[in-house]
Amino acid sequence: MDSFCVSVWDSVWDYDTPRILIIKNKTVGVVNRFIQCIIIAYIIGWVLVWEKGYQEFDSPTASVTSKVKGIAFTNSSLLEEHLWDPADYVIPPQEESAFFVMTNVIVTRNQVQGLCPELPSRASRCKSDSDCTAGYHDSQSNGVLTGKCSKGVKTCEMYGWCPVENDAVIPNPAILEEAENFTVLIKNSITFPKFQFSKRNILSSANASYLKVCRFHQKNDPTCPIFILGDMVRDAGENFQELSVQGGVMGILIKWNCNLDRPASECFPVYKFRRLDKGTNEALSPGYNFRFAKYNINEKGKQTRTLYKAYGIRFIIDVFGKAGKFNIIPTLINVGSGLALLGMATIVCDIIALNILKKKHHYEELKFKSIKDGELALLEEGS
């Protein structure tokens, strides 16, 4: 035990210094240069060129507004002749980073609060008054049951907005099938605060005449900020006429990747389109819809309303990306950490020389040498 403690105590004061050993072996030499070349290629090709390790980066802050244009004329048995413009089908008129376009609708006109039969369902079907519970209602009800059974339709009588909306049959094709040709102007401004750099998706080279005629196209005109709704849906791999029947949710992705070491004119957005509400079970509660009403007072002074169940496409705009600019600090950090990897070549070559080569014991004796104080004194006297 004492000898062990002494050896541990002595080792505390040992000093290790690297020893240079030149090994004239082609196998080890080839491995050494090969690993060094890979590491240098990684530093230059991946870290500096591809990942731009010489730059510092910042994410954008953005604002987005949109303006939809287009008219549609319909003449159906449900709505008769009607001209639709943005005030009718854009609901609400303005959102931040989103907009909704109504493409289909079920209209229930001249509703008043009163008594009428409930729609047929498990809870409302009846043969007599005893089948109807007065005051009963749930989240699926259109009103409160009165306790009476309507003899004609065999459903319970209820108090609510009458006549009751019947949304069992959705118009197909969609009422506003012309919405495929509507256009939307998307105005997007971004700022990279770290670099005090700002820009709009409406390029400085554009003018009023250009904006009147241009339409976005991935190849022919990728910087035009005016989009055709049908084109965006098709670019996402969807059929507009099918989507417009029950509605859905689309994503407009605006990507700003800017290299600020280059001219500002080379910084512009890239647009992509995705269907966001497409899941594994599309048969269950498909599409996108909501209800709203417009109220009036009739000639008798009683409040009436027209109820709309609107189906349509909600477009959500997502702005993301990054900007990079040269900075000496990340450059030194990335180059320094990359050069430190060159030590891997020495480690691998040591493993080969000390464990694989035939003369591994000879290399080990030359690489590691211990000198004690007494031996060092003899060496000094001999010199």
Pair (268, 244) in one structural domain: yes
More confident residue, 89 or 81: 89
Pair (85, 182) in one structural domain: yes
Amino acid at the residue 72: A
Paired tokens of 168:
């069992």
Q: Which residues contact 283 (CB under 8 A, 6 or more apart)?
A: none
pLDDT in tens, 6-33: 777 767 767 666 667 677 777 778 888 8
Mean pLDDT of the chain: 86
Pair (233, 298) in one structural domain: yes
Quote the CA–CA distance of 212 and 226 in Å, as a whole number: 9
For residue 142, give the 3-state DSSP assignment.
Answer: coil
370 within some domain: yes
Query: Residue 192 above 90 pLDDT?
Result: yes
Pair (373, 274) in one structural domain: no
Paired tokens of 250:
């689309």
Paired tokens of 70:
């287009």
Measure CA 127 to chain center. 54
Would you call 79 exposed, middle or buried from its count of C-beta atoms within 10 A (0-12, 13-18, 19+)? middle
Pair (318, 331) in one structural domain: no
137 within some domain: no
Averaged over 339-351, what is the pLDDT?
Answer: 80
Report residue 239's pLDDT band, with 50, 70 and 90 as the boundaries: very high
Pair (49, 87) in one structural domain: no
- Peptide bond connecting 163 to the previous residue in cis, omega within 30 degrees of 0: yes
Query: Residue 199 above 60 pLDDT?
Result: yes
Quote the CA–CA distance of 165 and 311 in Å, as a whole number: 15
Domain that holds residue 184: 58-118+164-323
Pair (229, 97) in one structural domain: yes
Averaged over 251-258, what is the pLDDT?
Answer: 95
Q: Are strands 289-297 and 80-84 parallel, antiparallel or unpaired?
A: unpaired
Query: Residue 38 above 60 pLDDT?
Result: yes
Paired tokens of 81:
């002749």
Quote the CA–CA distance of 202 and 200 in Å, as a whole number: 5
Q: Look up the CATH number of the domain holding residue 22.
A: 1.10.287.940
For a pLDDT cut of 90, what percent of the chain falls above it?
45
For a pLDDT cut of 70, what percent of the chain falls above it?
87
Contact 244, 177 (CB under 8 A): yes
Residue 217 pairs in a beta bridge with: 221
Report residue 374's pLDDT band, with 50, 70 and 90 as the boundaries: low
> Which of the listed residues 307, 323, 339 is the one where a domain comes to its end?
323
158 within some domain: no
More confident residue, 357 or 64: 64
Pair (270, 226) in one structural domain: yes
> Which of the listed residues 323, 346, 366 is the one where a domain comes to its end?
323
Report residue 2's pLDDT band, with 50, 70 and 90 as the boundaries: low
Selection from 166, 167, 161, 160 nearest residue 111 by Cα: 161
State the pLDDT at residue 279. Answer: 63
129 within some domain: no
For residue 166, give the 3-state DSSP assignment.
Answer: coil
Considering only 172-176, 183-187, 342-346, 362-366, which range has the smallest mean pLDDT?
362-366
371 within some domain: yes
For residue 369, give the 3-state DSSP assignment.
Answer: coil
Helices first, then strands: H and E counts in the chain: 10, 14
Considering only 3-7, 246-250, 328-332, which range has the smallest mean pLDDT?
3-7
Quote the CA–CA distance of 238 and 226 in Å, as a whole number: 20
Averaged over 233-256, what is the pLDDT?
Answer: 94
State the pLDDT at residue 375. Answer: 56
State the pLDDT at residue 15. Answer: 66
Residue 319 pairs in a beta bridge with: 254
State the pLDDT at residue 34. Answer: 87
Pair (173, 239) in one structural domain: yes
Pair (359, 261) in one structural domain: no
Quote the CA–CA distance of 258 and 252 in Å, as a whole number: 19
Contact 60, 320 (CB under 8 A): yes
Residue 267's φ and ψ, nearest 5 degrees, are -100, 110
Paired tokens of 137:
């209602």
State the pLDDT at residue 154. Answer: 87
3 within some domain: no
Would you call 184 exposed, middle or buried from its count of C-beta atoms within 10 A (0-12, 13-18, 19+)? buried
Q: Whose structure tokens read 């604002």? A: 63
More confident residue, 322 or 299: 322
Pair (218, 295) in one structural domain: yes
> Which of the listed residues 308, 323, 338 is the one where a domain comes to its end?
323
202 within some domain: yes
Pair (189, 308) in one structural domain: yes
301 within some domain: yes
| Number of independent structural domains in the chain | 2
How far CA 177 is from CA of 180, 230, 239, 359, in Å, comes to 6, 10, 12, 83
Q: Look up the CATH number of the domain holding residue 70.
A: 2.60.490.10
